[in-house]
Structure 1
Amino acid sequence: MTVHVSLQGLAPAPASAIIVSDERPCHVEPREALLDQAFGADRFEKTSERLREGRLPADRLALVATAGERLVGTVRLWNVTLGPDRPALLLGPLAVDGTIRSAGIGGLLMREAIERAREEGHRAVILVGDEAYYRRFGFSPEKMERLWMPGPVERSRFLGLELVPGALDGALGLVSPTGREMPRWQGLELGRAWRIAA
């Protein structure tokens, strides 16, 4: 599915429309460049990265926004478990080209990702991010108090969204990765972006 949004009147506008679609192999290099631009070189040190490294994103939940041939936004969701036996998704990173950040592309990516997660039967999504931004999509620190990440996280930025009412009730324990492991050849091809242990 694609989503079109007009960028007429914006400067600099990379094209007349934004298309949100599935990430493809040709998007890997520009995606990594966009993430470097948005988060800097220390992005691999973040606690959330411990849940992503060496893993593939959840099925149908790696999305990009493009303007013509140019990649201008990205979001991915990852399979995790909350405590020993509660499946969920970890959202992130979400990034948008800084030259058109006010065009609503992040919102488009978020809404499409959340709707797809719901369609795929997922029950809850968690993330580490700015509550002032993510609350518009339904994220909140409520029900996250007894969960912890595999590293330091500001509690006020540890947010959850129930796709099914009650999905986070009583959630307790360590958030752990459960997604498919990335094939070693693919990890080597992506180089520094994926820190696959030998």
Structure 2
Amino acid sequence: MITLVPLDVINPTAVEMLLDAAFGPDRFTRTAYMIRGTGTPIAALSFAAVEDGVLVGSIQCWPIALIDDDRQSPLVMVGPVAVSPNRQGDGIGRSLVARVLEAAAANGLDDALMLIGDPDYYGRFFGFSAERTAFWDAPGPVERHRLLARGTAVPDTAGILGPRTAKTIPVTASV
């Protein structure tokens, strides 16, 4: 049986090993890493999937922004969603994303979520779309149709995605 727990109770080395197994050791060169920068993931929105004491999946969320000149429109970047290669297709990633959306709603952080991912999958199951992201840029290569967002405060303006440099996200409720 899979149990979802806060990611910060998991050994960070185990998380890094899972991320390497899921995405390869060159994962740090991906555009998503450039977007979120060297910041810290949002603890209230980062979870691990554990089965019989073994880490089989993880998800992290990051405070980022759509930056246009000096203005920052705050966003929460969902991902990476990592699942052990031998457990992919078992619904673990889907459970992790659903848990993040639940926690984001409980903490008032669900009004501007974004991710880079498969539009058919994330649209069908979670309501993400590229409808408001047409004017967004990224600091590295990205297929435009994979820039997805959901929420009432998603900016429909031009800008480049990057780490949020303003204050941290206020979390008003615990999960």
TM-score range, shorter chain: 0.7 to 0.9
Offset of 1:59 from its aligned partner? 3.5
Contact kept, 8 Å, 2:34 with 2:139, in 1: the verdict is: yes
Distance 1:158 1:58 in 2: 20
Distance 1:73 1:19 in 2: 10
Alpha-carbon displacement from aligned partner over 1:101-146 (angstroms, at most 9, x marks no partner): 2221111100010111122212111111111221121111111001
Residues 25 and 179 of structure 1: CA distance in aligned 2, closer, same or farther (over 3 Å): farther
- Identity between Structure 1 and Structure 2 (%): 34
Contact kept, 8 Å, 1:55 with 1:179, in 2: the verdict is: no
Offset of 1:53 from its aligned partner? 3.5
Residue equivalent to 1:30: 14
Which one-letter code corresponds to 2:121 in the other structure?
Answer: Y
Distance 2:104 2:144 in 1: 24
Residue equivalent to 1:111: 98
Residue equivalent to 2:117: 129
Residue equivalent to 1:177: 163
Distance 1:118 1:148 in 2: 27
Offset of 1:33 from its aligned partner? 1.1
Residue equivalent to 2:132: 143
Distance 1:41 1:115 in 2: 30
Structure 1 unaligned spans of 5+? 1-16, 181-198
Residues 53 and 80 of structure 1: CA distance in aligned 2, closer, same or farther (over 3 Å): closer
Contact kept, 8 Å, 1:91 with 1:126, in 2: the verdict is: yes
Residue equivalent to 1:189: none
Residue equivalent to 1:97: 84
Which one-letter code corresponds to 2:47 in the other structure?
Answer: L
Q: TM-score, normalised by structure 2?
A: 0.85
Offset of 1:171 from its aligned partner? 3.1
1:41-120 map, 5 Å: 41-83=25-67, 84-120=71-107
- RMSD of aligned residue pairs (Cα, Å): 1.9
- Bigger shift: 147-156 or 50-59? 50-59
Determine helix, strand or coil for the equivalent of 1:48: helix
Q: How many residues align?
A: 162
4+ residue segments displaced more than 3 Å = none
Structure 2 unaligned spans of 5+? 167-175
Distance 1:54 1:82 in 2: 16
Determine helix, strand or coil for the equivalent of 2:89: helix
Q: Which has the larger radius of gyration?
A: 1
